[in-house]
Structures are given as structure tokens and as C-alpha cells.
Structure 1
Amino acid sequence: MFLRNAWYAAAWDSEVKQDLHATVLLGESIVLYRKLDGSVVALEDACPHRKLPLSMGRLHGDVVECGYHGLTFDGAGSCVKAACVSRIPQVAKVRSYPVEERYGLVWLWMGEAALADPGKLLEIAEWDDPNWGINRGDSMTIDCNYLYMTDNLLDPSHVAWVHQSTFGTSACESEPLQTVVNDNGVVVSRWLYDIDVAPFYQQYLKFEGRCDRLQYYEVRYPAHAIIKGVHTPAGFGGDDAPAHPQAFLMDSYNFMTPVDEHRTRYYWFQLRNFDADDENVSRQFAADVRRAFEEDRVILAAVHAGMNNRQSANIDLAIDAGPLRFRRGMEQLIRAEQNGAANLINTLEVKAHA
């Protein structure tokens, strides 16, 4: 169901304080908190004694105390205090997850801790570039499986119908799509030439009249999307065209974290090449993006419910090529990961009986 040897966004950094923050990732209950030095701890949210969530306990400095019988755990998940025992049992421990903070988000590695590599986090070259403005982002929980969201974010055509008041125009209905499969994910893109500007973008462009527009939708494994929006004056677009001084550039970064099979936590922020220091533009842009993504939320929840309760087989269309290639890639990665774990277990069992 899920690829575990990967980084997932678990919370905004502002959500994690020196108190206990409960969350769920990939069906696993986790408690987050900050130590006195500011670093973030992520632990399995279950005391090993009777599985009371540790998030129902108390934080004392850098350690968390279970609210049932007082077993106390440090940031590595080791039990450092147990009442009424002469010696702390070796099995009194909870899982600790590798943590990284980047781009205003707290990231957890959900697989084997020894494989956690910060270098595998997405690189965003413009993040610290003073010429680029940042919309600090938002998040929401969507009642759908995360793969319906990756389907959506590899589908430029849906904006013509779902986002008629925001991202879409009639020009988005039928222009052919280009699909490229990479080692780390899938890209679906197309240029639209000499078209009307969609409602969302009209207030932000620095030129008048019709435009050429690039729709660039990329999703990387396990579920990280980069949506590039490019608008130039009509006649100046194209992959080989020189950069236009009035071109609108927006890079939208979208991170889908499965809560479980039926729910996904969605985090996002945007970088833009205009009005870098204008907080009013940032606030308006963020509000407009939120409104557009609420349109997706309604559709995706209904799609999930419809697919779970379908009375007849669903069909695929040509526009589904990118989403289907991404799903196949995920299946292969998950299968390889599971086979690797199974091989390791078999090896350990053989050694144990040798």
C-alpha cells in the first residue's frame, strides 16, 4: 500500500512545539515534540506496556511520561524510568523515527532508520533566492487515497472542468499531453498557445492580452509534486523560446502524506518570480490557491467514494497515461521494498536456526 523508505511531510514546523503533537502517517500513530534545544523528536505513539498513546501523557523537558503508569521515554525511544521495578525491561522501548526540518516542514523517514538519507529530500534552488517570493503554504486533509491525488496532479486537463473559476479555460480541454517517465517519477506537460488568461492568473500578470501558457505537472516518488506555471505574452512561449522579461513563473510544491488507505494529508507552498517582498500579494495568492484546492478536495473525496463503491468497472482514457505510469512505478518500488524485507527476515530466520 505504501512506500516506507521515503521522506514524508508530517507537520508544519510551527505546529511542533514543546508539547505533545499526535498525528498519523501511513497508518502509524506518531507523537511529535521539540526538545529543549529545539530539535524535533518523533516516537511511536504507544506505550509498550498497555499501548496507551504517549500523546495522552506528559512532556517533562526532553522525555515523555506515559499517562497510565509513568513509564518514561527519551527522544531515542528508550525507557529511562519505570515505576515499581528493580530493573527496566530491555523490551521497554518505542520506535523512534528519523526527522529532518526543511522548507518550513517537519519530515519523517517512515522506513528503515539506517537508510534515512537527508540528501533524498527534494532540492528547491529558489527557496533562498531573494528574487523569488514565497507563499508560505497551507494544508488540508482530503478523504481519499493518496494515489487519487497523484492522479490529479498528473492531469493538466482536469482544470478545464474542475477549476473553471480559477486555473482553467476552454483551451485546457483538448491539447495533447506529453508524458515522460523518469527514474524518480513522471512528468506530464504541454504548451497552450495564444489563449485567454485563466481567472486565477489575471491579477498577477505583468502584461496585457492573450498568453502562451505552459502546464508542467511532475510527481516524484513517493508522492511529491512540482507544478510549474509559465505565462508569457502570446507568441513568446515554447520550450526553446528565450526568457521573456514579463513572463509569469510559479512553482507550486505539493506533498501528499497518506494518513491511511482512505485519507491523505496535503501540504503545499508556492514560489513566484514577481513581487517577492509584497506580503499583500503573498496573502492574496495563498487565499486564491486555497480556494482552488478546495475545488479539488470535493472532487477527490467523491472519486474515492465512487471507486470504492463502484457497481461496474471503471475505464481509463488517453489522459490517464501519466497517472497510470506513476502507479506502475509505485507498485514496482513497493514490491521491491517488500521483497527486500521478506528476504532479510528469511535470512535472519535461517541464521537463528543454524
Structure 2
Amino acid sequence: MFLRNAWYVAAWDTEVKQALHATILLGEPIVLYRKADGGVVALEDACPHRKLPLSMGRLQGDLVECGYHGLTFDCSGSCVKASCVARVPQAAKVRSYPVEERYGLVWLWMGDPLLADPAKIVDIPEWDHPDWGVNRGDSMTVECNYLYMTDNLLDPSHVAWVHQSTFGTAACESEPLQTRVTDDGVVVSRWLYDIDVAPFYTQYLKFEGRCDRLQYYEVRYPSHAIIKGVHTPAGTGGDRAPVHEKAFLMDSYNFMTPVDENRTRYYWFQLRNFDADDEAVSRRFAADVRRAFEEDRVVLAAVHAGMKNRQTPNIDLAIDSGPLRFRRAMERLIREELEAVADRRSTHEVQAHV
């Protein structure tokens, strides 16, 4: 179901304080908290004694005390105190997760800790660039499997129907899509030429009249999307055209973290090439994006329910090429990861027998 050797967003950095913060990633209960020095700790949220969530206990300095019998765990997950017994049991430990903070987000590595490479977190060249403004973003829980969200973010066509009052215009309905598979994901894109500006963008453009528009939807494994929006005066767009001085450029970063097979936590923010220091624009832009994403949330919850309870087979269309290629690649990556785990276990068992 999930690729585990990957970084996933667990929370906004402002959500994690010197207090116990419970969450679930990939079906695994996790407790987050900040140490006195500000660093973030992520531990399995289950005391090894009777599996009471540690988040129901107490934070004692940098240690977590279980609220049932007082077993106390350090930042590595080792039990350092068990007053209710003569000595600390050898098996009294909980899993700890590698943690990184970047872009205002807390990232967890959900697989083998020895493979946790911070360089694998998405690189954002425009971050902190003085010419680019940031819409600090938001988050929501969507009642669907994360793959319906990756489907949605590899589908520029849906904006014509789901986002008629925001991102979409009639021009988004039928223009052919270009699909490209990369080493780390799938890209679906197209240029729309000499079209009306969609309602969402009219208040932000620095030019008047019709536009050329690039829709660029990229989803990287396991579930991180980069959506590039380009609007430029009609007649000035295209892959080989220089960037017009009044072009609207927006890079939207979207991070989908599976809660379990039926729910996904969705985090996002945007960078833009205009009004970099205008907080009013940032607030308005963020609110407008939230309204548009609420439209997605309603549809995706209904899609998940419909597919889960379908009485007849569903069909695929030509516009599903990108999503289907992404799903096939994810199936391969998950299968290879499981096979590697099985091989390591087999090797360890042989060595233990010898």
C-alpha cells in the first residue's frame, strides 16, 4: 500500500511545540514533540507494555512518561526509567523516526533509518528568494486514498469541471496532454493558446486581455506534487519562448501524506513571482487556493466512496495516462522495497542459524 523509504510531511513546524502531538502516518501512530533545544522528536505512539498511546502521558523535560505505569522513554525510544519493576526490561523500547525541518514543515522518514538522506527532500530554488512571494499555505484531511489525490494532481483536465469558478475555463476541456515519465515521477503538461483568463487569476495578472497558459502537473514518488502555473500575454507563450516581463509565474508545492488507506493529510504552499512583500496578496491568494482545494476535497471523497463501493467495473480514459503510469511505477517501487526487506530478513535468519 505505501512506500516507506521516503520522506513524508508530518506537520507544520508551528504545530509541534514542547507538548505531545499525536498523529498518524501510513497507518502508524506517532507522537511528536520539541526538545528544550527546539529539535523535533518523533516516536512510536504506543508504550510497549500495554500499548497505551504515549501521547496520553506526560512530557518530562526531553523524556516521555507513559500515563499508565510511568515507563519513561528518551528521544531515541529507549526506556530509561521503569519505577514499577526492579529493572528496565530489555524489550522496553519504541521506534524513533528520523526528522528534518524544511520549508516550515516537519518531515519524517518512515522506512529504514539508515537510508534516511535529507537530500531526498524536494529542493525549492525559489524558497527565500527576494523576488518570490510565499503563500504560507494550509492543510486539510481528505477522506480518500492518497492515490486518488495523485491521480487528481496528474489531471489538468479536471479543472474545466471541478473548478469552473476558480482555475478552469472551457479551453481546459479537450486540448491534448503531453505525458512524460521521469526518474522520480510523472509529468503531465500542455500549453493553451489565446484563451480567456480563468476567474482565479484575473486579480493577480499584470497584463490585460487574453493569455497563453501553461498547465504543468508533476507528481514525484511517493506523493509530492509540483504544479507550475504560467500566464503570459496571448502570443508570447510556448516552451521555447522567452519569459515575458509581465508573465504570471506560480509554483505550487503539494505534499500528500497517507494517514491510512482511506484518509490523506494534504499540505501545500505556493511561491509567486509578483508582489513578493505584499502580505495582503499572500493572505488573499492563500484563501482563494483554499476555496479551490475545498472543491477537490468534496469530489475526491465521493470518488473514494464510489470506487470502494462500486457495483460495476470502472473505466479509464485517454486523459488517465499520467495517473496510470504513476500508479504502475508506485506498485513496482513498493514491490521492490518489500522484496528487499524479505531478502534482508532471510539473510539475517541464515546468519542467526549459523
TM-score normalised by structure 2 residue count: 1.00
- 1:55 paired with 2:52, answer no
Q: Say if 2:6 is the partner of 1:6.
A: yes
1:196 pairs with 2:196: yes
- AA at the equivalent of 2:214: L
| AA partner of residue 277 (structure 2) | D
CA shift, 1:236, in A, is 0.2
The one-letter code of the counterpart of 1:106 is: V
Q: Distance in 2 between matches of 1:215 and 1:263?
A: 27
- Corresponding residue for residue 317 of structure 1: 317
Matches within 5 A, 1:198-213: 198-213=198-213
SS in 1 for 2:176: coil
What is the aligned partner in structure 2 of residue 283 from structure 1?
Answer: 283
2:238 is aligned to: 238
In structure 1, the residue matched to 2:267 is 267
The secondary structure found in structure 1 opposite 2:260 is: coil
Question: Match for 2:95: what amino acid?
Answer: R
Instruction: Return the alpha-carbon distance in structure 2 between the equivalents of residues 266 and 250 of structure 1.
Output: 19
Equivalent residue runs for 1:162-173 within 5 Å: 162-173=162-173
Residue identity in the other structure for 2:15:
E
Which residue of 2 is the match for residue 74 of structure 1? 74
3-state SS of 1:222 partner: coil
Alignment partner of 1:228 is 2:228: yes
Is contact 2:70–2:84 with CA below 8 Å preserved after alignment?
A: no
Once residues 159 and 250 of structure 1 are traced to their aligned partners in structure 2, the CA distance between those partners, rounded to angstroms, is 16
Alignment-derived partner of residue 93 in structure 1: 93
* Aligned partner of residue 19 in structure 1, secondary structure: coil
1:160 equivalent in structure 2: 160
Partner residue in 2 for 1:308? 308
Aligned partners of 1:69 and 1:139: how far apart in 2? Answer: 36
Shift of residue 86, structure 1, vs aligned partner: 2.5
Q: Is the 8 A contact 2:145 2:304 kept in 1?
A: yes
Displacement of 1:141 in angstroms is 0.1
Give the letter for the 1:101 counterpart.
Answer: E
Q: Distance in 1 between matches of 2:241 and 2:77?
A: 55
Cα shift at 1:7: 0.1
The whole-number CA distance in structure 1 between the counterparts of 2:191 and 2:182 is: 20
Secondary structure of 1:3 counterpart:
coil
Q: Within 2, Cα distance between the matches of 1:130 and 1:14?
A: 23
Question: Which residue is equivalent to 2:83?
Answer: 83
Q: Residues of 2 paired with 1:243 and 1:140: CA distance?
A: 34
Q: Secondary structure at the match of 2:122?
A: coil
Partner of 1:119 in structure 2?
Answer: 119
Displacement of 1:350 in angstroms is: 1.4
Residue type matched to 2:228 in 1?
K
Maintained 8 Å contact 2:142/2:297: yes
Deviations 1:193-239 (A, max 9, x none): 00000000000000000000000000000000000000000000000
Q: Which residue of 2 aligns with 1:138?
A: 138
**After the TM superposition, which residues 169-180 of structure 1 pair with which residues of structure 2 at under 5 Å, given as runs?**
169-180=169-180
Listed one character per residue, the Cα deviations across residues 152-208 of structure 1 (whole Å, up to 9, x for unaligned) are 000000000000000000000000000000010000000000000000000000000
Query: Residue type matched to 1:294 in 2?
Result: E
More deviation in 255-264 or 75-84? Answer: 75-84
Which residue is equivalent to 1:218? 218
State the Cα distance separating 1:85 from its structure 2 match: 2.3
Deviation at 1:62, TM superposition (A): 0.2
1:89 CA displacement: 1.3
- 2:248 corresponds in structure 1 to 248
Distance 1:138 1:243 in 2: 29
1:29 equivalent in alignment to 2:32:
no
**Rounded Cα–Cα distance in structure 1 between residues aligned with 2:99 and 2:301:** 30
CA distance in 2, matches of 1:127, 1:242: 23
Structure 1 regions of 5+ residues with no counterpart?
none
SS at match of 2:307: helix
Counterpart residue identity of residue 268, structure 1: W
Equivalent-residue separation in structure 1 for 2:153 and 2:27 (angstroms): 23
**Corresponding position of 1:257:** 257
Q: Percent identity?
A: 83
Shift of 1:348: 1.1
Letter in 1 for 2:92: A
Quote the Cα distance in structure 2 between the aligned partners of 1:116 and 1:209.
Answer: 49
In the alignment, residue 7 of structure 1 is paired with which amino acid?
Answer: W
Q: Which stretch of the first structure deviates more once superposed, 171-180 or 75-84? A: 75-84
List per-residue Cα deviations over 1:312-345 (Å, max 9, x = no partner): 0000000000000000110010000000001111
Q: Is the 8 A contact 2:212 2:232 kept in 1?
A: yes
Q: 3-state SS of the aligned residue for 1:259? A: strand
2: CA distance between counterparts of 1:60 and 1:249?
47
3-state SS in 1 of match to 2:241? coil
What's the secondary structure of 1:219's corresponding residue?
strand
CA distance in 1, matches of 2:84, 2:22: 28
**Whole-Å separation in 2 of the counterparts to 1:290 and 1:331:** 31
Aligned position for 1:349: 349
Q: C-alpha separation between the residues in 2 aligned to 1:351 and 1:245? A: 65
Secondary structure of the structure 2 residue equivalent to 1:265 = strand
Matches of 1:242 and 1:12, distance apart in 2: 36
- For 1:140, what is the secondary structure of its paired residue? strand
